[in-house]
Amino acid sequence: MDFTLSFCTQGNGFVAQAQPPTGLNALQMARGVLGDPTLTGDVLTRYIQDPILGIAGFRLSHPVLVPGLIDVYEIQQRRVDLHIPLSTIKQCGTCFDTANQAMVEVPPNGLLPYLTFTPYLMVKNRGTHVGWRADLNVNQMFVDWVRAGSPTTWVPASAEPLDVWLRDDMTLFKLREVRDANKRVGTEHALRLTLSGPDATSAMANQILNMLRQADQHAIEAAREEERETQHEAAMEKVQAQFPKANLSFGTWDCATSPTGHCVYDLDSHLGDDDCLYCHDPDERK
């Protein structure tokens, strides 16, 4: 007899829906996994290779090309079926006492924490680029479900990412963390947008979702750049405080002892302007 454990959502929503990584974190991941620190952001693509097999009897949905966008693929998984061997049935509580198939409801995008992307080198348009392999860690998902008591309705830990645009049919939303009177942690909608009318199609919802996510990514990168500039200004002020009478010139050579991370020179120094005030190396080097 075959036993099947099915994870699905109410309303036939996606149990796992995501695009491949982008931004600085994606670049750092690619550099680390591929062992190439010289990789630059322009070689990163958003192409997802054909999904690889998970455990026996399970396979991810084929990546879907997001309409209107170039090289943007998305894993859209509406249901995950796991074939459970007889030796494992005891771990599933009473789910299979009267049937050989058990249904577990999860929130929309509830299995996102178990979706992983791994970078790999690919040849595209006669050049070397980085693509992504997608997989779902169903083994850890099953273990976490058993640890939760094998419930028929399950909300995995961190299943609903906070402050990230999500989609449930024609509704786009963000979640934020809240605590009730008993200090139990929950989530509520911080932002919510529902599409309606003749233009309320799945393709339009996906396009708007992608635009919102891109806007958030740009905002994050702008905030990081502002933070870097603030730190650099603070470092320059520290140098000025240490050398208040110097006519400072900030160079480009790396310097481990300088607050700015680069060499600093005093143009009015009687010793000349060639030596860094911190490492004392000359500006002109061979």
Instruction: Supply φ then ψ for residue 285, to 5 degrees.
Output: -130, 155
The answer to whether the beta carbons of residues 141 and 162 sit under 8 Å apart is no
114: helix, coil or strand? helix
User: H or E segment at 48?
Assistant: strand 44-48
Mean pLDDT computed over every residue of the chain = 81
Instruction: Supply φ then ψ for residue 127, to 5 degrees.
Output: -140, 165
pLDDT recorded at residue 184: 46
To the nearest 10°, report the CA torsion of 65, 68, 70, 76: -20
Rounded CA separation 256/111 (Å): 44
Q: Where does 66-170 show beta strands of DSSP type E?
A: 73-77, 79-84, 101-105, 115-124, 127-136, 166-168
Closest CA to 152 of 214, 105, 93: 105
Q: Following DSSP, what letter does each residue of 183-231 receive, concatenated?
A: --EEEEEEEEEE--STT--HHHHHHHHHHHHHHHHHHHHHHHHHHHHHH
pLDDT recorded at residue 178: 60
pTM of the model: 0.53
43: helix, coil or strand? helix
11-38 pLDDT tens trace: 777 888 888 888 888 888 899 999 888 8
For 7, 79, 159, the CA distances from 67, given in Å and listed in that order, are 27, 22, 26
pLDDT recorded at residue 267: 85
Task: Give the torsion sign (CA, 10, 16, 17, 22).
Answer: positive
pLDDT recorded at residue 56: 44
Task: Give the torsion sign (CA, 158, 152, 114, 45).
Answer: negative
pLDDT recorded at residue 55: 46
pLDDT recorded at residue 117: 87
To the nearest 10°, report the CA torsion of 136, 156, 112, 204: 140
190-233 pLDDT tens trace: 777 888 888 788 888 888 888 888 888 888 788 888 888 888 89
For 82, 92, 101, 114, 196, the CA distances from 104, given in Å and listed in that order, are 11, 11, 10, 16, 30
**In the structure, what pLDDT confidence band is assigned to residue 272 with cuts at 50, 70 and 90?**
low
